[in-house]
Amino acid sequence: MGKIAFVFAGQGAQKPGMGKDVAEYSKAAAEVFENADRVRPETTRQCFEAEMEELAETKNTQPCVFTVDLAMAAALGEKGIKADDVAGYSLGELAALTYAKAFDFDEGLKLVSRRGELMQIASEKYDTGMVAVLKLPDEKIEELAAPYDKVFPVNFNCNGQVSVAGDKEQLDAFKDDAKEAGGLVRILTVSGGFHSPFMAEAAEAFGDVLAEAEIGEAEIPVYSNRTALPYEGDYRDLLQEQIANPIRWKNLIEHMIEQGVDTFIELGPGTALTKMITRISKEVTMLNVCDVESLELTVERMSEC
């Protein structure tokens, strides 16, 4: 058996009631939620009881998904399953860095909470949105976006799937172009044009936050959304740049596989990363933990290895 990688979910995975059954099942997961409430009161209530409208606010989404991501990791750790390498999608990268002990949980939650607030402020300044374009090559999507000055391919997720951020008026026209070219377009449940130039102000402000944070070296490799390679040097630059630049998820996963990862476990409220990684490689084992049922199945599968 090769290496095990944990991959932590990002924004868009949130859903009402997320993490509640695992917190009731796992003492370690419950402790994560208790710690979250100590740092950011109301986190557990939002995860377990809030309606989608409240959860979809970026300032709430990010700390809540971060907490659920790490609660799932704690539940697996309680069963003796740990990661050799880690990565996270967008905000999930902060969960990955926390898991790898580049900073502690309190620092991680403070950072992701402030990140969410700054990104929400930036998103409210512009009338922007995001769509996923399926069934078209990356190059074709970039070609279709090129005539627009406020439309940006930003998340290169897997074969035949790219997320595009943009001004809503231009994005509507782009969607028509993508459909005409044979693409399938899906509107994403996010509140702004993330990982694009629309987030430049948020990235700059987050740089000031990072300058005051206590950040050390991760104990295991953490793969960066920005470079698709393991973090090295001063982590602050990559964390700051990630907010306003594309996510190279497909390249990131390919590099992890090249370095010996053959088992991926998605942690968090949804299964979006599971679907992406399955499309990137048919040769790896793909598992996920989003509730008690999937936790038990993953533990059972891992015990067979």
| CB 8 within 8 Å of CB 87 | yes
The angle, 0 to 180 degrees and rounded to 10, between the axes of the packed helices 105-124 and 92-99 is 170
C-alpha distances out from residue 110 to 174, 179, 296, Å: 37, 41, 31
Give the integer Cα–Cα distance in Å for 27 and 100.
21
> How many angstroms separate the first and last alpha carbons of the chain?
7
Amino acid identity, position 197: P
Annotated active-site residue 195? The verdict is yes
Give the integer Cα–Cα distance in Å for 199 and 60.
18
Burial code (b: 16+ CB inside 10 Å, e: under 16) for 213-227 equals: eebeebebbbbbbbb
Give the integer Cα–Cα distance in Å for 269 and 267.
7
Q: Which of 26, 90, 123, 163 is catalytic?
A: 90
Closest among 145, 176, 173 to 246, alpha carbons compared:
145
Annotated active-site residue 255? The verdict is no
Q: Which of 26, 163, 191, 195 is catalytic?
A: 195
- Tokens 């967008």 found at: 90
Q: Supply the residues annotated as catalytic.
A: 90, 195
